[in-house]
Amino acid sequence: MAKCKDLTELLPPSLLRMLLLNCSQKLAMLEKALTKSFPESLKVYGTVYHINRGNPFNLEVVVDTWPHFTTVISRPHESEMKDDLDNYTNSYFMFTKDPEKLREMLTNTDVVNWKQVLQIQGFQSSVDKALKDVSACKMVKMDIFKNILFVKEKTVNPLDTSKGQVVPEAKEEFTAAHLLHGIDGQTFRLAPLSECHADQVNQGWGFGGNDRSLRYIQRCIRHFPSFSAMDSDGNPVCWGVTEQSSEYRMGFTVRKLRNTGIFKQLFTLITQPPFRILEDAPLYCHVAEGNEAAKHATVRTGFHIAPGNWYQWTCSPIKSLL
């Protein structure tokens, strides 16, 4: 483990700065620039994608320098992070071209509020190493979740600044009745989720199951596209939700319909025209390393395993655990 030291007196001021990007033109430039570093930059790109299209989660972006940045961190505005124990809201997304610059930024600026329980997401092993070093310096307990990253397309159409900022709207075709077919002749309707389904999603989500995750899911369903296969009684039997980094998450199928092909039908439909629900965003998701059934199902929908891994680091200040 690297020895913790204060670099403030050793580094030139330019390396200790962090710049908040709040100019729409610069954010559009950043969105375009991040496409050149896929898949490593996908998490941060996804947040910038939503910031440039209405910013429903009130996120902001910090870089080390501009325009020639090496490190980008997106995070909620301070006004959002009111609950020190809510790691769902207190979420940071990181991408770096230089792990040492990231380590310096995390150590010597207040870009991250280490006094809160929080989570960090990214796709780089270099970020993992930097966070391990910094967490020891900051007296933070860190739990690491590493899963397999899947992507479906390598390119996107970056924001066209000449058209202004556009908030995605639900497609008419997606909200219209569309049938999926079970192996026993049963049919299901393609439909978005509503907030009344949040508890069911929460109970099926491996990272959820508590009151804070429930509020987070409700907010995601309220502001971002979601999708499901509904039975004849209007109950979702298979679903997924997109979130503030544009990732397709919380995928779940009720037990009695697993291995019936319903997930494949649903996920295939919502990731291709005319049903694709995030038209200009990259298509990506993650699957736990040991979940062979989910891995095979994801591949069958047209996704492939990307280089690197999906990481989530959950951090808790040690003093709050005592």
- Domain residue ranges of the chain, discontinuous segments joined by +: 13-154+311-321, 169-278
Mean pLDDT on 294-313: 92
Tell me if domain 13-154+311-321 and domain 169-278 are identical in fold. Answer: yes
- Does the pTM surpass 0.85? The reply is yes
pLDDT tens sequence across 215-274: 999 999 999 999 999 998 999 999 999 999 999 999 999 999 988 889 988 998 888 877
Mean pLDDT on 114-120: 96
* The listed CATH number (2.40.10.10, 3.40.50.2000, 3.40.630.30, 3.30.565.10) that belongs to domain 13-154+311-321: 3.40.630.30
Does the structural domain 169-278 have CATH classification 3.40.640.10? Answer: no
- Looking up tokens 């998450």, which residue turns up? 249
Give the whole-number percent of the chain exceeding pLDDT 70: 86
Give the whole-number percent of the chain exceeding pLDDT 90: 68
* CA gap 267, 265 in Å, rounded: 6
pLDDT tens sequence across 194-214: 999 999 999 999 999 999 999
* CA gap 264, 244 in Å, rounded: 24
Confidence of residue 60 (pLDDT cuts 50, 70, 90): very high
Per-residue exposure over 200-238, b if at least 16 CB sit within 10 Å of its own CB, e if not: bbbebbebbeeebbbbbbbbbbebbbbbbbbbeeeebbb
pLDDT tens sequence across 138-181: 999 999 999 999 998 754 555 444 343 333 444 445 544 577 78
* CA gap 268, 121 in Å, rounded: 26
